[in-house]
Amino acid sequence: MEEALADLTTYFGGRGIDLAGMSDDDRAAITGRFALGDPDTVGEILTDDLARGIDGFTINAIANGHIPGRVELLGRTAAAIVF
């Protein structure tokens, strides 16, 4: 979780948004829109979403998709849930 949050913090920091300097409520309003964590945590989030009745995902890896191996890991994680 810490690595994913660090990636997101770096991403937003590069755009002039200081997540660390925000109130807990403001930070939660932003980070709550992301599935953050290790593969097990992200898998649980996606599973919960499917249980609510959605029938698919559109996933953007805006904060860390450029890091080698991250898209592959996300693909394996999501595939385990969907297939």
10-14, 23-27, 33-37, range with the lowest pLDDT: 33-37
Give 1's pLDDT tier (boundaries 50, 70, 90): confident
Reported as a single tens digit per residue, the pLDDT across 49-63 is: 999 998 888 888 999
3-state SS track over the chain:
CHHHHHHHHHHHHCCCCCCCCCCHHHHHHHHCCCCCCCHHHHHHHHHHHHHCCCCCCCCCCCCCCCCCCHHHHHHHHHHHHHC
Note the pTM of the prediction, 2 decimals: 0.79
Return the domain boundaries, the chain: 2-82
